[in-house]
Amino acid sequence: MHARIRAGDPDAFRELFRDHAQLVYRHAVRTTGDWTAAEDIVSLTFLEAWRLRGKLRDEGESPRPWLMGIAVNVLRNTGRAARRHERALARVPLRDVLPDFADELVGRIADSDELAATKAALGQLRRAEREVFALCVWSGLGYAEAAEALGVPVGTVRSRLSRARARLRTLTDSELRRRSGRAESLGTGTEPGGAGGQVQGGRTAAARSNEERTR
């Protein structure tokens, strides 16, 4: 199979795409948080895989580590624009509605507030930690496969994943406390302390407050 892919056999490459496109897509969705961007990542990954097909080695039974290594590099190369977008979004007030993909973020977390907090916390991890977490936890790669995909020793994968899990717990707890405090302040309809009567929550809340004062 690998030899056929290296030789440019279209049928073999279609089989590669059929067997692994969903893996790359799910990884891209969870990493970018954007379904449309994830589709672009899949296209770019397989275009790059076709270009680099001569480097696919015969070792191992699965081309997953090779293919996911390409996907990681594609995500790195497209990450600069995504980070600019994230910084712009960070300046926009948080919404209560979660992205559609959030329920897949961490399967063990059922509460929607925890899901939103975990997504925000993931954005604060170092890139190396995010990549290991995404490959091992989201995409189900083993330590050896993730190490091959990232071009690092297995021990590095283990240590990065351990740090990522520990930091993710701490950051998620912090984000949950922040969101809880924000929800409490929104529930009062004013800034904490009530000074100045400045209304939070957008135009709808402001209009409602004005109506109540003029009754």
Domain boundaries along the sequence of the chain = 1-92, 99-215
Residues 6+ apart with CB under 8 A from 58: 2, 3
Fold of 1-92: Rna Polymerase Sigma Factor; Chain: A (1.10.1740)
C-beta atoms surrounding 55 within 10 Å: 10
Ramachandran area for residue 195 (φ above 0: left; ψ -120 to 50: alpha; else beta): beta
- Rounded CA gap, 188 and 190, in Å? 5
C-beta atoms surrounding 70 within 10 Å: 22
Q: Domain 99-215 class?
A: mainly alpha
H helix intervals, the chain: 2-6, 10-32, 35-51, 64-90, 112-122, 127-133, 143-150, 154-188, 203-214
Q: Lowest mean pLDDT: which of 15-29, 127-141, 173-187?
A: 173-187
Give the pLDDT band (50/70/90) at residue 89. low
Same fold yes or no, 1-92 and 99-215: no
pLDDT above 80 for 28: yes
pLDDT above 70 for 205: no
Q: What DSSP letter does each residue of 4-46 carry, written as one string?
A: HHHTT-HHHHHHHHHHHHHHHHHHHHHHHS-HHHHHHHHHHHH
Is the full-model pTM beyond 0.75? Answer: no
Give the pLDDT band (50/70/90) at residue 77. confident
Q: What is the dihedral of CA 100, 105, 111, 112, to 10 degrees?
A: -30
C-beta atoms surrounding 115 within 10 Å: 20
Give the pLDDT band (50/70/90) at residue 139. confident
Give the pLDDT band (50/70/90) at residue 116. low
Q: Which two tokens stand for residue 124?
A: 């604060």
Q: Which two tokens stand for residue 214?
A: 């003029």
Most confident of 60-74, 164-178, 194-208: 60-74
Q: Which pLDDT value is given to residue 85?
A: 55
